[in-house]
Structure 1
Amino acid sequence: MVVATNSFPGSNGTTFSPNDILDLEKGDPLVFGAYWKKMSEVCTVVIKGWELMSYLSDAKNVCWFMLSEFGDAVRRLHHLVGNAVIQERYIVVGTGATQLSQAAIYALSSHSEAPQPINVVAAAPYYSEYPSEINVLRSKLYQWAGDAALYKKNEPYIEVVTSPNNPDGVIRQPVVKSEADGKLVYDLAYYWPHYTPITHQADHDIMIFTFSKCTGHAGSRIGWAIVKDIEVAKKMTWYVHMSSIGVSKESQTRAAKIIGVICDGYQNIGSIESELFFEYSKRILRERWEKLRKVIEQTKVLTAAKYPTFYCNFTNESSESYPGFLWLKCDESIEDCTSYLMEKLKIRARAGQRFGVGPKYARLSTIGTEDEFNELLERLSNAD
C-alpha cells in the first residue's frame, strides 16, 4: 500500500512496496512544487468575497472575459523569455490548452462550405488526446484524420504542430505534403527554457500555451492563445464563451500573480532572494535526465530518445532538451513495451498505440514528485 499525505507534493515521505503500481501514465507537473512552496508568501493571492463577481472583464477587448492584468502578465512573460512574437497580436484565454485547441480548430473550420468535415491531422507520434478531443463532439465541421505525414488527400485540412512534441520532445515543423488548402495550429505548451533551448521567437498565426506546463500549476486550468487574425480571435473567444462562458477570474488572478513573480525575479524587482524560476526548473529537469540516461544505458532492453544541443537565447548557453516525458522504446525481444513495464516493473505507462505508433513504444512522466521519480529510477534499474 502506498503511504501518502495531503501535504506539499514533493519529497513528502511517500513509500512504495515492490508490488505497488507506480502510475506514470499521466503528466501531473508536481516537479516544481518545492520552488513554489519556497515562494508561497510572495505568490499568495487574497480575493475578497465581493470581488470578481461579474462575467465581464473588459467589454472593449476581443476576449471580453480576460482580465487586463492577466493579458499584461502574458505579454510581459513572452517579452522576457523571447519564445513568441506578442506584438500586434490578440490574446485569447481559455481553460487550458485543451479548450483552446478546440477553439482554434472551430475557428478555422467554421467558415468552411465543404460538404464534409475538415480533416484534422498531426504527425505521429502525436499527443495521445488529440483524436479524442477532436471526435468527442462529433462535429460536422471537423474530424480526426490521423498521421499528418501520411495525409495525401486533396481536401482541406488543419495540421496541429506540437513543438516540442508530446510525447518525444522533438522540435516539429509542418509535414503535410498535400496541395489542398491547409491551416496550422501550433501547440507550444513545452516551448519554455526549462524544457528546451529557446532558439527563436515563434511567429505563427495561432500559438497555444498553457500555465500548467510553464509553471506547473495544472490545477488552475488556464492557458492562452496568441492569435494574429482578429476574426480568428473573435471566433475562438466565441467558442470559449459558448462552452464555459469565459474563464475563471480567480485562476486568471492567480496566474497573473505567479507570472509577475517570475518576471520580477529576472528584472530584480522586490527583495526576495531566490533561485530564478527557469534556472531552478531547468536544473531539476537536467539532473533528472542525467540520472535517467545512466539507468537506461545500463539496461539491455530499453532505449530513450537523444536530443541535439542548441544555443538558447534566453539562458545564453548551449544545452539539449529536457522533456517532461520519457519516450521509451523496447527492443525486439519485447512485443508490447507497456505490458512489459507493468508486468516486469509495475510501472503504468501510456501505450505507443495511443500516440499513433506501435506497441514497442511507451510514454512515462518525468515531472512527478521526487519520490515517484526516485522510485522510477530504482525500477528501471531492474529492467533486463
Structure 2
Amino acid sequence: MHKAVIAATGLYTPEQSISNDKLVEAYNSWVDQWNAANAAAIKAGEVEPKAHSSSAFIEKASGIKSRYVMDKEGILDPSRMAPRLPARGNDEISVLAEMAVRAAEDAIKRWGKPVSEIGAVICAASNMQRAYPAMAIEVQQALGIDGFAFDMNVACSSATFGIKTAADFVASGSAKAVLMVNPEICSAHLNFKDRDSHFIFGDVATAVIVESEATAAPGGWAILGTNLKTQFSNNIRNNFGFLNRTHLPTDTAEPIPSDGLTDKLFVQQGRKVFKEVVPMVSEMIVDEAAKLNIDPTSLKRLWLHQANINMNHLIGKRVLGREPTAEENVIILDDYANTSSAGSIIAFHLHNDGFAAGEKGIICSFGAGYSAGTVFVEKRG
C-alpha cells in the first residue's frame, strides 16, 4: 500500500464577475416586467406578484457579495436571465474541458513534474457538459496524459469523493499520480428568475494532483484519512437531463429558464438543508477525527464547502468547540459564491499558508444527495 499526498493544486477563475448590486438590478428589472405583464391576474388575485431582491438580503442569507461567471451579459439581460455559451464544434475543445485544462496547467506548473508521471485523470463535478465522451478523457488528451480517465458526479461533494478515489488508486498502485479536476459552470443550471436562489452560484475550475508518498517531493500534504457518506434527499435537486428534452425550448435562442423549466434547474429547500446537513457534517468530522486519533479542536484550519456562511460558521463552531476565527474557518464564497464541488478546493488552494510540518487541517464538502466527504491532511516537512 502506498500512502497518498496532495502534491499540488490549481485554480482557474473566469475574467468576468457580477456584484450583488448588478445581479439585483437585472433581477428586479425582470420582476417589474413580469408583474406588468401579469397585472390583470395579480389584480384578480389569481397569482402573487413577484418581490424584489436586494444586496442586503443576499449577503445576510448567504454571505455572498459577488461571483465569477463565464458570461455575465446573458445573465444580466432581463429578457434572458441565463448565460450565453455558444456551442462549439466537435473538433474544438469544449468549454468545461478548457476550464479544467487551465486549472490543471496551474497545478502541474506548481507540481514541477512532467505529465508523463500522471497515470489517471478524474473529472469530478456537479454537472457535465455532455454524457460522453467523458470530459476527463478530453482533458487527458488536451494535456497529453497517458493512462485512463473518467467522470464522476456527487454534486457539491465531487471533489472530496474524487480525492478519495485518487488516493485509493495511488494506494493500490494503479497510478503513481492522479489529476483530479473540478470544472463548474454553475450559472448554466441556476434559475436566475428565482429570488431565493438567483444569487447562489458562480463559475470556476480547480485541480488537485494526488501522488504517492514514495515519489512526492518534500512539502505538500499527507492524506491522513478520508471518509464518504451519502443519504438520499430531495431537498437539493436538479432534474436537467436528456430525458427532459421534450420539455425544453426548441429554439436555442429562447431564454432559459422559461417559467415551465424551473423544476428542471437547481432547486432547494434551504431551511431543511441547513437543519439536516449541519449536524450530519459536524458529527461526521468529529467521528472521523476520533477514528484517526485526531483531536478536532486541534485542527489548524477548516476548508469547508462554500455554500452558505452561516452553515460554515456553525459547523466550525461544533467541530472546534468554540467560535472559529476567520483564519481557522476559511470563507471565500463572498468573492466566488457557491462553486459547488470546487469551493472547498478554492479555499484550500488560496489559504493553506502558515502551516508547520505536522500541523493538520480538513478539507470537507457537503451538498446534494445528501453527500459529504472529509479529507484530513497534515503538512509535510
- TM more than 0.5: no
* TM superposition score normalised by structure 2: 0.28
Greater share of strand residues, 1 or 2?
2
* TM superposition score normalised by structure 1: 0.28
